[in-house]
Structure 1
Amino acid sequence: MHQSGANASKRVSLKDVADELGISQTAVSFAVNDKPGVSEKTKRKVKAAAERLGWSPVYAAQALSSSRTMTVGFVPSRSGGNLQTESFMLHFMAGLHDSLSRKGYGILYRPAQSLQEELSIYRDWSKRKRVDGVVLVDLRSQDPRPELLNELDIPAVLAGGPDPGDLVPSLSIDDSGTMDKILCHLVDVGRTRIAYFSGDRDLDYSKMRAAAFNELSTKYALEFSAVSYTNFDSEAAAAQTCSMMSGKFAPNAFIYENETMAAASLRALERLSLCDDVPAGLQNDDGRTFPDNLPAIVSFEDSFICTATYPSITAVHRDPGEYGKRVAKLLMKRLAGESVSGNRRILQPKLVVRESTTNGKGEVAADKS
């Protein structure tokens, strides 16, 4: 017999699930919300019955009853255009979404054009009780965000860090160890005049990478080393790279903080090496031309861009999606009331060696200059 239109459109409730199993509605509620008080066997039975009957949570009612919005805020302070070129951040967001959605949470993504705008957004969200927690990225010197979120009583976790005030628990990546791997490789292939193109001098991770580069330059007794800040501007990085290659003491290796700067600089060097007036730093005694006359190039971020260029770019590879998942899981612990503090260092990156630091055949080629 077919159900009537009224009955067919009736929403399945927790009471319907309880009646189906002959248990209390409270037990059903505990089971579907993974709360203590019912056995794992009962939880499995309830969830199976709920799925069979077509029950799904009403998040508006759930928010009213639990004071939760089932939403996590994410407010990176950067322009939308810049974000679209950052493969790491896009995959990081995908990892966040994957982990949060499994717990019924959604992401409220709202990029800000400045730090002050980001702070205003947090104040507005707190006033309207818009989110249950937030994910922070790009820790800065004297960063006001951890203290503000603590005052607003908004749970937060930090991707990066650590937070000097230990107000926000964090998950960080070993940038110092990664820089060591890069310099060790470059020295092994005979490159001892190395320039590092960093991003924003106000970002903690940019400062830590630059500090590690300067410290390790002494360890490896580099003939020449320099750090240049670009504010992640690919055109500026390419222009400065070409300018250095035209100087008397041209670097024979470059490290770039992201893959877009590395690719733009590689393209600029290609044009420079094929022009009529080739700079001394790109000349070879045996008359070889592009790409054999290029300095070694390494990117601190890996993506399809690094394999799409010619020569392909040696790069630091880590899994930003997995990073996002782990950051989301840390926030879920905070929202569940678990005691979480301090910094956890995860994801030891690996250096993927490609043509830009080899002879194009996968074999290491030492510098002859």
Structure 2
Amino acid sequence: MRRTPARRPTIKDIALRSGVSESAVSFALNGKAGVSETTRDRVRRVADQLGWRPSAAARALSGEGSATVGLVLARPASTLGVESFFLQLVSGVQEVLATRRLGLLFQVVEDLSAECDAYRRWWAERRVDGVLVVDPRADDPRPPLLDELGLPAVVIGSLPPGDDGTGHPGITNLWADDARAMASIAGHLHGLGHRRIAHVAGLPDLTHTRRRVQSLRAEAERHGLDVTSFPTDYSETEGAEVTRRVLDSGTPPTAIVYDSDVLAVAGLAVAAARGIPVPDRLSIVAWDDSVLCRTTHPALTALVRDTTAYGRRAAEELLALLDGGVALRVEDELPRLEPRGSTGAAAP
């Protein structure tokens, strides 16, 4: 069902509720003389009750829109310092925004609740014309919220199962097939004789994590593999800790698939510290390629895609929405597996 976007409270609304003139409201909210302290306090209380925020666009010289799009990351800040995926994604976004002289308002928050609060605040203050949304989750509250606010958005990554995007008139979904990509990894390792495979995954509530886990399980059933997935926060600390745990098990895997380049490099370091040769006794695959994967020894087998182009396409789809286009569901190019020195035949 199409929802009617919520209406932002205005100075007129505050004036009606407070029982004063619009000019008095303006004086009170802007700290100007001309109203009593009692009136000023009453106006500010009403403004808070209505959820009013000063409009960033109204402060702009043009007064027409914010000329800005937003991006919020609800990830631990400690995991982003060496995360090449988001740097490349943002680079692609910026390339496109620059052609229209649009700015990018970027914020890192601690959780999904804080991300939703940021959208509400940006909408109330008219700070952004649209947003880019990453890391879709199961039972994700963000698409319904953006529908309610009427804030155009591009969700980057697969929506939750059962959500085909048609219920979100202002949201385009740009996604790549994580299930097929994971199947290509499983097929590669199976062809090399690997039967015991560990999967060091990312955050467990992310839609793409769940799709990867489910795909690997399906391939395990098809090929007769023994697979186990272990969630992490994407940090090198947890990547290393999980690697130590699986290598210390009674029947350690002969291959490990990591959900990021950072996790994979952390795992490679653990193997080296324990004197486990890669790939003679352990094969390693990284989900996203980066300079980290290409400069380790051995170089890491990885899924390769043009993440900068992915960011450009996301920004182009958002601009299309802002220009009055319709919301779409757009499948991006499938990442391809590039075998390198970190994968080889399973040890007998």
| TM-score in same-fold range (> 0.5) | yes
CA separation of 1:154/1:251 partners in 2, compared to 1, >3 Å: closer, same or farther? same
CA separation of 1:243/1:128 partners in 2, compared to 1, >3 Å: closer, same or farther? closer
Secondary structure of the structure 1 residue equivalent to 2:266:
helix
Matched with 2:254 is 252
TM-superposed CA distance for 1:330, in Å, is 0.6
Matched with 1:231 is 233
Alpha-carbon separation, structure 2, partners of 1:142 and 1:165: 14
Q: In structure 2, which of residues 286, 302, 311 is the aligned counterpart of residue 315 of structure 1?
A: 302
CA separation of 1:165/1:127 partners in 2, compared to 1, >3 Å: closer, same or farther? farther
Q: What pairs up with 1:68-83 in 2 under 5 angstroms?
A: 68-83=65-80
Render the CA deviation track for 1:228-274: whole Å, top value 9, x for unaligned.
1112232222222223223331110000000111111111111112x
The answer to whether structure 1 residue 103 and structure 2 residue 100 are counterparts is yes
Q: Is the 8 A contact 1:198 1:227 kept in 2?
A: yes
Q: Is the 8 A contact 1:269 1:294 kept in 2?
A: no
> 1:337 is matched by which residue type in structure 2?
G
The answer to whether structure 1 residue 158 and structure 2 residue 132 are counterparts is no
Q: Is the 8 A contact 1:72 1:106 kept in 2?
A: yes
Matched with 1:114 is 111
TM-superposed CA distance for 1:109, in Å, is 0.7
Unaligned runs of 5+ in 1: 1-58, 274-281, 283-289, 359-365
Q: In structure 2, which of residues 329, 333, 345 is the aligned counterpart of residue 347 of structure 1?
A: 333
Matched with 2:45 is none
Q: In structure 1, which of residues 218, 221, 228 is the aligned counterpart of residue 221 of structure 2?
A: 218
Q: What pairs up with 1:126-141 in 2 under 5 angstroms?
A: 126-141=123-138
> 1:177 is matched by which residue type in structure 2?
R
> 2:174 is matched by which residue type in structure 1?
L
> 1:303 is matched by which residue type in structure 2?
S
Q: In structure 2, which of residues 209, 212, 221 is the aligned counterpart of residue 209 of structure 1?
A: 212
TM-superposed CA distance for 1:291, in Å, is 4.1
Unaligned runs of 5+ in 2: 1-58
Alpha-carbon separation, structure 1, partners of 2:238 and 2:325: 46
Alpha-carbon separation, structure 1, partners of 2:197 and 2:134: 29
Q: Which has the larger radius of gyration?
A: 1
Q: Is the 8 A contact 1:84 1:90 kept in 2?
A: no
The answer to whether structure 1 residue 148 and structure 2 residue 145 are counterparts is yes
Q: Is the 8 A contact 2:194 2:254 kept in 1?
A: yes
Alpha-carbon separation, structure 2, partners of 1:107 and 1:245: 43
> 2:250 is matched by which residue type in structure 1?
K
Alpha-carbon separation, structure 2, partners of 1:315 and 1:120: 36
The answer to whether structure 1 residue 335 and structure 2 residue 332 are counterparts is no
TM-superposed CA distance for 1:165, in Å, is 6.6
Secondary structure of the structure 2 residue equivalent to 1:157:
strand
Alpha-carbon separation, structure 1, partners of 2:78 and 2:228: 29
Alpha-carbon separation, structure 2, partners of 1:155 and 1:78: 22
> 2:131 is matched by which residue type in structure 1?
V
Alpha-carbon separation, structure 1, partners of 2:303 and 2:90: 19
CA separation of 1:335/1:249 partners in 2, compared to 1, >3 Å: closer, same or farther? same
Q: Is the 8 A contact 1:160 1:170 kept in 2?
A: yes
TM-score (norm 2): 0.78
Matched with 1:182 is 185
* Cα-Cα RMSD: 1.6
Q: In structure 1, which of residues 191, 198, 210 is the aligned counterpart of residue 201 of structure 2?
A: 198
The answer to whether structure 1 residue 91 and structure 2 residue 88 are counterparts is yes
Secondary structure of the structure 2 residue equivalent to 1:110:
strand
Alpha-carbon separation, structure 1, partners of 2:234 and 2:216: 18
Alpha-carbon separation, structure 2, partners of 1:87 and 1:321: 10
Matched with 1:241 is 243
Q: Is the 8 A contact 2:283 2:343 kept in 1?
A: yes
Matched with 1:267 is 269
Alpha-carbon separation, structure 2, partners of 1:100 and 1:219: 45
> 1:78 is matched by which residue type in structure 2?
R
TM-superposed CA distance for 1:202, in Å, is 0.7
Q: Is the 8 A contact 1:162 1:169 kept in 2?
A: no
> 2:343 is matched by which residue type in structure 1?
T
> 1:183 is matched by which residue type in structure 2?
A
Matched with 1:44 is none
> 1:348 is matched by which residue type in structure 2?
L
Render the CA deviation track for 1:60-116: whole Å, top value 9, x for unaligned.
443x1xx31110011111233322221011100010010111112110111111111
Render the CA deviation track for 1:13-41: whole Å, top value 9, x for unaligned.
xxxxxxxxxxxxxxxxxxxxxxxxxxxxx
TM-superposed CA distance for 1:191, in Å, is 1.2
